Every structure is written in C-alpha cells, then in structure tokens.
C-alpha cells in the first residue's frame, strides 16, 4: 500500500507540472522578429566530446560569412562554456544555472553535441542537456531537412520537441522491484503549434502534402489526440493534403524507392521524430551530414544531430571528426535570423565540396581534419 501511495504522489507531481506548463503555453508570446533587433546575439556552446572541435569550425564559417555585420556590431557571437558532462555532473543538473542564464541572453544558439548518461555509465543520472534546453527555452519544433536530389528526396521533418515520451523521461519510476513505469505527454497546445508550424512551412514553400506519423491505432489516447489535432489543423489549409502513416510502416516506406519520393513535409511526436530523422539522414550520408533546428517563439537552437563520440576523444581522433552536421546547422541558423543569401551560399559550398571529393573526412588520420574540411568549404564561398 505504501508503494501505491508513493507512486500516486509522484504521478500527481508530474501532472501538476504539466498542467502548469499548459497554462504557460496558453499565454506564450508571438515569434521574435529578428529584423526589429538592433543586435542579434549568437551563442556558441561547444558541448563536450567532439563538440568543441567541430563547433569551432562552424563558428569560423559564420564569422567569415557575417564579417561585415560583426564588425558593425549588428551581430555578436558569444562563447558559452560549461555545458560539458563534467560540469553538469558536478552540479547534478542537465544545464547548470549559470550556463542557462548565459543561454537566455542569446537570441539563437549554435550547440555542439553533449553526452547523456545512460544506465551503467560512470556519470550520475542527469537529464539530457538537449531535452532540458528544449524545455527551458520552449523550443517546441525540431526541424530537420533531408535532401538527396538525385534520388528525388526532399523531406522536411517537424518533430514535436517538448512532449511525447521525452517530456518527462527522467520522471519515470520503479513502483517496486517488478514494475517500472514511464510516461508520454500530449497536450492540445503543444500539438496545435507543431502541426501549424508544419502546415505553415508547407504553405510558404509550395509544398502540397503533410504526413502525420503516429501509432494511434495502438497508443490510442496520446497518439490519437496528436492525430486528431493534426486533422483539425489541416482543415485550415485546403490546398495541402494530410496523409496519415503509422511509425512502423513509415520506417519501411522511407526505403521504398517508388513511395518515398511522394513525401514532402512530416509532422511527428517526439520519439518517432527522433527515430525517423536518423533513418532519413542515412540517405544523405549519415547523421554526421544533417543539421537540426530547434525553434521556439523567443529562442532558437541549432545543432548537429549526432552524439558526442567520446570514443573518438579517448582515441585522440577528435580533430578528425566530421563537422558537416554542425555546419549544416549553422546554415539553418543563418537562414532563421534573416541571412538567407549567406545560408544558401554556405549550403551550395558544402554541396560542391561533397561532389568534388577533393578531400574527405574519414574520422581518422587517413582523412582530412575538421579544420581542413572547414577551410575547404570557406575556399568555395563567393
């Protein structure tokens, strides 16, 4: 009986926290207008593992592209340290308070990979820094583009970022030695804004199809709610078709050469989005080649979609890590704050380097270093 009482108390605390979050979403601000700012502050947080090595290269490219506006004071680039696993573990927090305060002084953030402890690791069970940052800064839309023109692939994924199975991932508990419970969260407000973001993007970019991916036939309450709201939002966009797929068959259809070219924009709950975007990135060359945007109304964060690769650091290979993903993220950051020409130029230069294969990054000494790859890209900028 004591076990059930404790479980009920913990569940009640979880629900109260989510209800408070719903109330905050009801009163959220409009999207920040970057054009209205006298100065745009870009925070650069290297993270840990290979993060500092690759993020430094992306920062250098941003500095090269925005040289004039940086000199004029229109753009300020601020280094934010302290997002390492060592520092986070020392204070027992996903993001130390002083680091979070620094992040909140920025308008956009370029973030390197961060280590998330797992069961059996030597680190304490601190929450994922990514998950914490998405919640603290309310970065509700994870946007991941994947383009492979020669295969007819042009996909943009809108993954809900603050709910689903990850929202309270550190708040599950073991009721007793035989029963463990985790939770998934879906709210009206959270689903409406990610669905509308996907449809707005589709409408603004000439797309005609949005694909909602769930497991609503089995996860009937939360996934069912997500799907129903997507259907409601779709009614506001009569020129765009909504189609519906379950996550298991969707993973198969991405490798179906005939079917996959029909997909354009995806909207998904958090966990499914994480899985599907990693699969999608393989068509583009792997997770090391894909950038990721995390968009909120006040803040935005851009990152590589791969991990911190501690083994590369242990083996002394950090300088040979592929910076392509974080550089793709830098291009997305530039576009987001209004530097669309510079973003397009960076993407073009990266595509040209990848096609030329004059040098290649292999992750080892037989390939180019991350610095050499960044210099190669800079040499292609016009």
Asked if 253 and 221 touch (Cβ cutoff 8 Å), the reply is no
**pLDDT confidence of residue 156:** 94
Whether the pLDDT of residue 317 is over 90: the answer is yes
The kind and range of the H/E element at 242 are strand 241-246
Residue range 348-355: average pLDDT?
Answer: 90
Strand order in the sheet with 108-111: 75-79, 40-45, 108-111, 300-304, 291-295, 141-148, 153-160, 265-268, 209-214, 241-246
Give the CA dihedral 336, 325, 58, 143, nearest 10 degrees: 10
- Say if residues 325 and 338 touch (Cβ distance below 8 Å): no
Q: At residue 123, does pLDDT exceed 80?
A: no
Q: Are 263 and 209 in contact (CB under 8 A)?
A: yes
What pLDDT, in 10s, does the model give residues 132-145?
A: 898 899 899 999 98
Q: Check pLDDT > 80 for residue 122.
A: no
Question: Measured between alpha carbons, how far is 279 from 290 in angstroms, rounded to an integer?
Answer: 11
Distance CA 337, CA 224 (A): 35
Q: Domain segments of the chain: what residues? A: 31-139+296-382
Collapsed DSSP state (helix, strand, coil) of residue 5: helix
Confidence of residue 30 (pLDDT cuts 50, 70, 90): confident
pLDDT tens, 222-231?
999 999 999 9
pLDDT per residue as tens digits for the range 325-336: 999 999 999 989
How many Å separate Cα 230 from the centre of its chain?
21
- In whole angstroms, what is the distance from residue 104 CA to residue 127 CA? 19
Placement of tokens 């943009």 in the chain: 156
Q: What is the pLDDT of residue 288?
A: 65
Cβ–Cβ under 8 Å, residues 300 and 109: yes
Confidence of residue 126 (pLDDT cuts 50, 70, 90): confident
- DSSP H/E element including 17: helix 2-26
pLDDT over 80 (residue 80): yes
Cα angle 205, 208, 212 (rounded to 5 degrees) comes to 105
Sequence-ordered list of residues with C-beta below 8 angstroms from that of 231, at least 6 positions apart, any chain: 212, 242
- pLDDT level of residue 173 (50, 70, 90 thresholds): confident
**β-strands 153-160, 265-268 pairing:** parallel
pLDDT in tens, 42-61: 999 999 999 999 999 999 99
Q: Domain 31-139+296-382: give its CATH code.
A: 3.40.718.10
Q: Give me 220's structure tokens.
A: 């009937």
| The pLDDT value given to residue 217 | 97
Largest CA distance in the chain: 70
Number of Cβ within a 10 Å radius of residue 169: 17
């Amino acid at each position: 009986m004591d076990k059930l009482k404790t479980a009920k108390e913990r569940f009640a605390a979880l629900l109260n926290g989510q209800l408070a979050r719903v109330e905050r979403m009801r009163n959220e601000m409009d999207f920040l207008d970057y054009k209205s700012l006298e100065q745009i502050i870009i925070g650069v947080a290297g993270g840990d593992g290979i993060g500092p090595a690759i993020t430094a290269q992306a920062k250098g490219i941003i500095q090269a592209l925005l040289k004039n506006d940086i000199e004029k004071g229109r753009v300020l680039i601020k280094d934010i340290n302290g997002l390492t696993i060592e520092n986070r573990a020392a204070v027992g927090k996903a993001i130390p308070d002083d680091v979070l305060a620094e992040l909140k002084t920025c308008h956009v953030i370029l973030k390197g990979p961060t280590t998330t402890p797992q069961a059996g690791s030597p680190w304490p069970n601190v929450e994922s820094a990514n998950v914490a940052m998405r919640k603290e800064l309310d970065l509700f839309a994870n946007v991941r583009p994947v383009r492979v023109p020669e295969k007819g692939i042009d996909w943009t994924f809108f993954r809900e970022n603050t709910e689903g199975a990850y929202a309270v991932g550190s708040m599950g508990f073991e009721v007793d030695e035989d029963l463990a419970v985790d939770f998934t969260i879906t709210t009206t407000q959270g689903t409406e804004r990610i669905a509308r973001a996907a449809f707005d993007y589709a409408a603004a970019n000439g797309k005609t199809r949005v694909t909602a991916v769930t497991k609503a036939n089995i996860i009937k309450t939360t996934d069912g709610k997500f799907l129903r709201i997507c259907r409601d939002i779709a009614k506001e966009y009569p020129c765009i078709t909504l189609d519906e797929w379950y996550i298991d068959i969707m993973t198969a259809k991405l490798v179906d050469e005939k079917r996959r070219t029909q997909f354009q924009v995806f909207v998904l709950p958090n966990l499914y989005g994480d899985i599907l975007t990693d699969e999608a990135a393989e068509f583009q060359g792997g997770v090391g080649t894909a950038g990721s945007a995390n968009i909120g109304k006040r803040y935005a964060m851009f990152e590589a979609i791969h991990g911190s690769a501690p083994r590369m650091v242990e083996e002394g290979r950090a300088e040979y890590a592929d910076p392509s993903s974080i550089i793709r993220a830098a291009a997305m950051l530039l576009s987001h704050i209004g530097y669309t020409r510079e973003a397009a130029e960076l993407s073009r230069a990266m595509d040209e380097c990848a096609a030329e294969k004059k040098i290649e990054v292999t992750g080892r000494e037989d390939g180019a270093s991350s610095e050499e790859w960044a210099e190669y890209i800079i040499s292609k900028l016009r």
